[in-house]
Chains A and B, each alone.
Chain A
Amino acid sequence: MNRKAAVFAGSLVVFAASASMAHADKLTLYCSAQEDWCQLMARSFEDATGIDVNMTRKSSGETFAQIRAESSNPKGDVWWGGTGDPHLQAAEEGLTAEYVSPMRDQLHDWAISQAESAGNRTIGIYSGALGYGYNSDLLAANNLPEPACWKDLLKPEYKGHVQMANPNSSGTAYTTLASMVQIFGEDEGFEFMKGLHANINQYTKSGSAPIKAAGRGENTIGIVFMHDAVKQAVSGFPVKVVAPCEGTGYEIGSMSIIDGARNIDEAKKFYDWALSPEAQNLALEVNAFQVPSNKSAETSESAPDMSQIKLIDYDFKKYGSSDERKRLLQKWDEDVSTLPQ
């Protein structure tokens, strides 16, 4: 056993060399946007304030799970990015802290209403509309017409060509389900989902997977957030983006301060900074095509033009609540997913 101890001690020394000794102002940032965007935000905040940022990037579901697991001894300070629903759920469970930023009057109404529906425990930082994208090469190869509306996707010729995520595992797909219920009404909305089910070739686990598959030519049509589809097109894949004619729902990417944050002052500084136009303009550098929440921040030219898209009045409070979510998902599980394809 002593020898083992010696080996262990030896490896400790190796490890010690790699440990940092910094002891300045610091901030632990949980980031749920794309990696390079997260990196850029962290580094730019460091440059702007001199506060050291420890950034971890995980998907919003993973981050929510982590914040929940850590709730009795929080390790993170700010949670930035990711779709709004988990932020709302975290607010509902009291995992995040109330904060009213002085920057608030510079924001779009949808960002503020997101904050109000969560008792000021979260705020909107960007938004993106739901839609779909298709691989134009594959569409042509299979002699399919170009779809323009949600109802087009129900046509029998698209059988086996449509992909969406499983609403049980993906926030994007849940937004799709909730949007259909709000556009068509609950009964007709579920009829739509049943019709769609017949044409679906796979329910993916992750929300943006359908359009990535379409980009690689593994799938024809993917139901996703439009900015994800634009990203594929800008990356060079033959993807066309569609804003459905019936109108569509949208997500609000959010930011929250974690309840019991160890560096609360730094967290507030980051919060205010992240709502400023300078910080939100950083999105342009990393091909993030969401619409920023600060009115004076710029939007990319490639981004879907929100003024041309028919947005529904999405009820985030109702459809973001745990009970409604549970009910809709159970109904989808029982009435839709069990049907033969």
Chain B
Amino acid sequence: MTLTKPNKAPPVLIFWIIAGWVGFCLLPWYGIEDGFWSFEWLIDGYPFDDDYAPAAFLIAQGEKLWLAPLLIPLVLPLFALRCSKSDPAYARLLVLAGSIGFAWMIAQGFSIGIRGYNFEWMNAAFGPLDDRQFGMGYGAMLCASAYLFLLTQGIAARGAVNGDVFVVSAIGGVIAIVTAFVFFPIAKMLFAAFVTDDGAYSILVFFDKFFNDRIWGLGCLAGARCGAAWNSLFLAVLVGLITTLLGLAFALVVTRSGFRYKRVMRALTVLPIITPPFVIGLALILLFGLSGTITVYVSELFGVQPTRWLYGLPGVLIAQTLAFTPIAFLVLIGVVEGVSPSMEEAAQTLRANRWQTFRTVSLPLMRPGLANAFLLGFIESMADFGNPLVLGGNFDVLSTEIFFAIVGAQYDQGRAAVLAMVLLFFTLSAFYAQRAWLGKKSYTTVSGKGDAGVHPLMPKGLAVPVLTLALAWAAFTAVVYAMIMYGSVVELWGVNNSLTFKHYVTAFSVRFAEEGIRWTGAAWDSFWTTITIAAIAAPLTAAVGLVTAYLLTRQNFAGKNSFEFGTMLSFAIPGTVIGVSYILAFNVPPIEITGTGIILVVSFIFRNMPVGVRAGIASMSQIDKSLDESSLTLGANSWQTFRRVILPLLRPAILAALVYSFVRAMTAISAVIFLVSAEYDMATSYIIGRVENNDYGLAIAYSTTLIFVMLAAVGLLQLLVGRVQIGRRKHVEMKGAT
């Protein structure tokens, strides 16, 4: 424990005490209907108007008296200021204050809603309440955070995690937000699996919906159709394997070959990840569909009847492989670069040839990357929704089944919940299988010791097939994207092929009027909303993800496994389920954010955070712990160590997390479709509207524009974050390569 001078309260404590008082006495307690960001309340009756009053003013006027007990935990920590930090009373006071405050916040928030008491038994016990409250506003949120961090400081003072305030607060913070924005809505949604038609709970309903031929049928072995569960599983395993393989091939070509056009290749592999949904599917249909260019050409060449082979497993597999190979690549490139050349040089010095070195040293050290890449591919495929929708044919998968259980002709939330459970079971099993495979071995390669080596090139026998594979796939990707570009500049794709720019004009025209630029194009509204939301969500996602990864790899604390499980959970759940559960959970107090931009930002943060976590874990498990230890020994605290030692070494992971979350926020569709509102419409939901309306030209032109915007953004991020400097020499011929 750090020694502090007696009677000198730590600044963090003073900060949170002040924050608590400000939240209680100065800021409006409840959410403001005009939106979180409007500040009209300042001139419109504040601080006495009911809608805008801080809690202190409300109580003083004799209203919302259930908020009064919240004062006690604000007063208690004032006494702690007078104790020394090593005094047991200091810790006891803070823990007491924090837990009372936080618990009371939750209790009152859930029991009193917009229609008085939320629970029947409370009406029975206290009589009906003819008062009500809306969702939490600035004041309530600040107060809740203050209680939370008072509690964590108290726990730290009692000696948890070596009394490290930063680590305990970070754990507390992550647990609180993951509980609020992942567990709570999901639990609310999953309970639907047990609800009978008349609103009672019963386990029988669950069994009835669970043992269903449309989920578990094995008809495909006998020529009929299989259940959605088997289809999803089979597809996801295939996609996971193929994307990992292709991702590894690309990573090897980029880092360990003399191939000259790496830059082009790298850009090409990243293209699919920045492509809005549906576009790849449409391009594939135009190439390989019944009337597709290639289908027609081949059928005329060989005189065979064109078929609908694309619709079903083959089409979805191709589209998902196109879409998710870049994710595997992004995960693997960091790991392949991170493998220490010293070890490979040591192997070569011991007379291993290139092939032996690769097989026995490099490849095993890449295992965390391979496992993570497979896991991501598997989960992405399970949760993917756009591609099966366009190309699935009669091949039903869980994600689309869930979607149509909710928005289909038969609204069946229970069935959706059951399907979601099956899906969750698969993804979590994959997650645990991956951990078992990695085991407890060490994959550390970046240590504090001098490490100035050069990666050996791939062995010849490997280089040829890897390069061929990568090139063939890159060429295929290029063709698909050429088709997309072409589709945006023709009159009517597939029917009238005269060239035109009218789709771009419709979407993005501007007029220069006297008062400035007028954004007259149809797409501008959703375009700006999308950019803003993505730009806000990306850094927050990266921050939450990396802090979590740091806690998971570097700290030991009770309940770490369930903590990890919780942070991965949201990724394993398809967006559709997230979308509906967010509406169910956040349309009513205490957290009332539907119809705002916040709910979109929040859903993106928790949907995409796991990628930040995985990328962070993969990179951090390669960085030797002795680096942290030496920093700590030299007197830095854990925040300083995190900030000055680990963070700079994590640049590839930060970049991956930032890029991924920005791009996903711009291309996500399944959760978004439930969460967009009139004011906050997103590009993807707008594009789907156009596709439904046959405006393929406009949809593709918009998508193409988004692709270029994202390319620019990714480039910009790369410049901002910078490249990691591990202090290695470079191949002379690699000059200029990234």
Is B one of A's binding partners? yes
A residues touching B (Cβ–Cβ < 8 Å)? 1-2, 4, 7-8, 11-12, 14-16, 18-21, 23, 28-29, 34-36, 39, 53-59, 61-62, 64-66, 68-70, 72-73, 75, 85, 89, 138, 160, 166-171, 173-174, 201-203, 205-206, 208, 212, 215-219, 231-232, 235-238, 325-326, 329, 333, 338, 340
Residue of A nearest to B594 (CB): A75
Given contacts A23-B40, A66-B583, 4 further A-B contacts (CB under 8 A): A138-B291, A217-B290, A338-B213, A340-B223
* Interchain CB contact under 8 A, A61 and B407: yes
Residue of B nearest to A60 (CB): B407
Q: A218 to chain B: which residues have CB within 8 Å?
A: 285, 289-291, 308
Mark interface residues in B168-195 (1 if CB within 8 Å of A CB, else 0): 0110010000000000000000000000
B interface size (C-beta, 8 A)? 74
Closest beta carbon of chain B to A85's beta carbon, Å: 7
A209 to B219 alpha-carbon distance, docked (Å): 26
Q: B404 to chain A: which residues have CB within 8 Å?
A: 166, 168-169, 205
Partner of B543, one of A7, A18, A61: A7
A12 to B597 alpha-carbon distance, docked (Å): 11
* Interchain CB contact under 8 A, A69 and B409: no
Partner of A35, one of B34, B40, B532, B689: B689
| B residues 399-436 in Cβ contact with A at 8 Å | 400, 404, 406-411
B162 near A: Cβ within 8 Å? no
* Interchain CB contact under 8 A, A329 and B407: no
* Interchain CB contact under 8 A, B393 and A202: yes
* Interchain CB contact under 8 A, A61 and B678: no
* Interchain CB contact under 8 A, B38 and A21: yes
29 A-B pairs in the complex with CB atoms less than 8 angstroms apart? A1-B166, A1-B173, A7-B539, A14-B532, A14-B535, A14-B536, A16-B37, A19-B35, A19-B597, A23-B34, A35-B693, A53-B678, A54-B679, A59-B692, A62-B673, A65-B407, A70-B583, A70-B594, A72-B115, A73-B587, A170-B408, A202-B394, A205-B404, A208-B692, A215-B495, A216-B291, A219-B290, A235-B492, A236-B495
Mark interface residues in B359-403 (1 if CB within 8 Å of A CB, else 0): 000000000000000000000000000000100111000001000
* Interchain CB contact under 8 A, A231 and B583: no
Partner of A85, one of B149, B409, B686, B689: B409
Q: A160 to chain B: which residues have CB within 8 Å?
A: 308
A73 to B290 alpha-carbon distance, docked (Å): 48
Nearest 4 pairs of A and B residues by beta carbon:
A217-B291, A54-B678, A61-B407, A169-B408
Closest beta carbon of chain B to A90's beta carbon, Å: 10
Which residue, of A57, A208, A212, has the highest number of chain B Cβ atoms within 10 A? A57
A61 to B404 alpha-carbon distance, docked (Å): 9
* Interchain CB contact under 8 A, B409 and A57: no
B residues touching A (Cβ–Cβ < 8 Å)? 15, 34-40, 114-115, 149, 166, 169-170, 173, 213-214, 219, 223-224, 285, 289-291, 308, 311, 389, 392-394, 400, 404, 406-411, 492, 494-496, 522, 528-529, 532, 535-536, 539-540, 543, 547, 580, 583-584, 587-588, 592, 594-595, 597, 673-674, 676-679, 681, 686, 689-690, 692-694
* Interchain CB contact under 8 A, A205 and B492: no
* Interchain CB contact under 8 A, B681 and A12: no
Partner of B389, one of A14, A72, A205, A217: A205
A166 to B393 alpha-carbon distance, docked (Å): 11
Closest beta carbon of chain A to B340's beta carbon, Å: 31
Q: With A54-B678, A73-B114 as known contacts, state yes or no: A205 contacts B400, CB within 8 Å.
A: yes
